[in-house]
Structure 1
Amino acid sequence: MRRYFVTILMLFLVMLLLDSSSWATESDIIGEGGQAGLEESVREVDKFNYQFGDRPDPFLPFLSKDNSRDELDDTPINEGSGEPLTGMQLFEPGQLKLVAVFKIGNRNIAMAEDVTGKGYRLDENMPIGRYGTINRIGDEQVEITETYKTTTGRVVTKEIVMRLKKEGDN
């Protein structure tokens, strides 16, 4: 309680010490004729002009079609479809290392492992990660396409390639 009293007392003293000429009064805003005179009522504070330079306009909304920084924003919308992620959807492609590609019949199958060394089978058209699908399994690589919608409404498509590392490659 004493702390609040001291704070209020300090604020009161600061208000008393301030020069009354720094505060705008009604007579400063309204002209002598009783109406707002534009030229007479311009204070020094009102003469400030914002220098844009390479900075964005602070009065434009962040999410707009006209704002150039929104076009570069590739942040996906977190669309919770309600379904829990299962299988390979739990892993983003960057979390896996391609360790083998082999042929069964006329189709290629790939093997990947996570950071703990656990192995997983990859097939074509299998969902991987939150937004990805395995398009093609080649002889030494797996091609993945990620498609998602950004916060600005743009649809972004990214191509990711997981390459098979040979012995001696880091």
Structure 2
Amino acid sequence: MNNRFSGLAYFLATMLLTIYWGVAEAQQTSPPAEIVLGEPSESASEEVRVNKALEELLKTMDDLEYVYITEGRPDPFLPFLSEEIIQSGISEESTEPEMLTGMRQFEPGQLNLRAIVFSENNPYAMVEDAAGKGYVIRRGSKIGRSGVVAEIIPNQVIIKQLSYSMTKKKQYRTVEMVLRKEGDEQ
């Protein structure tokens, strides 16, 4: 403990001496340099010429108007949330979890496509969950939180899922469930 205090005392003494020497050096001033008036030197005339060129450049830049081109990139001056989204009532976070029933309990990746049947103008497909339970889906059937069966074709079911971008714009993602032949790996 005694060793700690001696180390602290040494540190404080060093700091005080450093400050004292800095103040002592600052008090020693050199006499002001003599100012000689006469003809301007080459470096002074060069400096004047550069200053004039800079002034002219600044004048021409004041006349130019900057325009931000928004093509291919977001406009930083617009709010992130559009008026449509604010008025539609889409919130950042859902306050109440929605109770999902039937096929809405499963996301497309949790289901396996087992069969596709074509009837007159109304094809339908059978999907199976992980527990082995089968479900029948048709065009327009809802799957998961935001998926809707968009199309049923001979070897696959196409599902469109609604999502929102960072700027709250609607985006649709397409998920394809492919019908595998017997013996194909999943």
Decide which structure has greater helix share. 2
Q: How would you bin the TM-score normalised by the shorter chain?
A: 0.5 to 0.7
Residue type at the aligned position of 1:169: D
Q: Is the 8 A contact 2:162 2:171 kept in 1?
A: yes
1:65/1:152 contact within 8 Å kept: no
Give the 3 Å change call, closer, same or farther, for CA 146–18 of structure 1 in structure 2.
farther
1:146 equivalent in alignment to 2:156: no
Name the residue aligned to 1:100: 115
Alignment of 1:112 onto 2:114: no
Where has structure 1 moved over 3 Å in runs of 4 or more? 16-21, 77-83
Where does structure 1 lack aligned partners over 5 or more consecutive residues?
1-12, 22-31, 33-63, 67-76
Look up the equivalent residue of 1:93 and give its one-letter code. P
1:125 match? 140
Inter-CA distance 19–122: structure 2 relative to 1 (3 Å threshold): farther
2:134 equivalent to 1:156: no
In the TM superposition, what is the alpha-carbon distance from 1:125 to its structure 2 partner? 0.7
1:89-110 CA distance string (max 9 Å, x none): 1000000000000023321110
Give 1 or 2 for the bigger CA radius of gyration: 2
* TM score, norm. by length of structure 2: 0.49
Aligned mates of 1:18, 1:127 — CA distance in 2? 78
Change (3 A) 1:78 1:127: farther
TM-score by length of 1: 0.53
Alpha carbons of 1:17 and 1:143: their partners in 2 closer, same or farther (altered >3 Å)? farther
Amino acid in structure 2 at the alignment position of 1:96: L
Where relative contact order (Cα < 8 A, 6+ residues apart) is larger, the structure is 1
User: 1:6 — aligned with what?
Assistant: none
Per-residue CA distance 1:54-97 (angstroms, 9 max, x = gap): xxxxxxxxxx986xxxxxxxxxx653565411111100000000
Q: How far is 1:155 from its partner?
A: 2.7
Number of matched pairs: 110
CA gap 1:19/1:155 in 2 versus in 1, 3 angstroms: farther
Rounded to whole Å, the distance in 2 between the matches of 1:150 and 1:96 is 26
Distance 1:100 1:78, change over 3 A: farther
Closer/same/farther in 2, CA of residues 136 and 78 from structure 1, 3 Å limit: farther
Structure 2 unaligned spans of 5+: 16-25, 27-73, 77-91
Aligned-residue RMSD, C-alpha:
3.5
Residues 118, 101 of structure 1: alpha-carbon distance in 2 compared, 3 angstrom cutoff: same
Q: Encode CA deviations 1:5-46: one digit per residue, 9 max, x unaligned.
A: xxxxxxxx8xx589565xxxxxxxxxx9xxxxxxxxxxxxxx
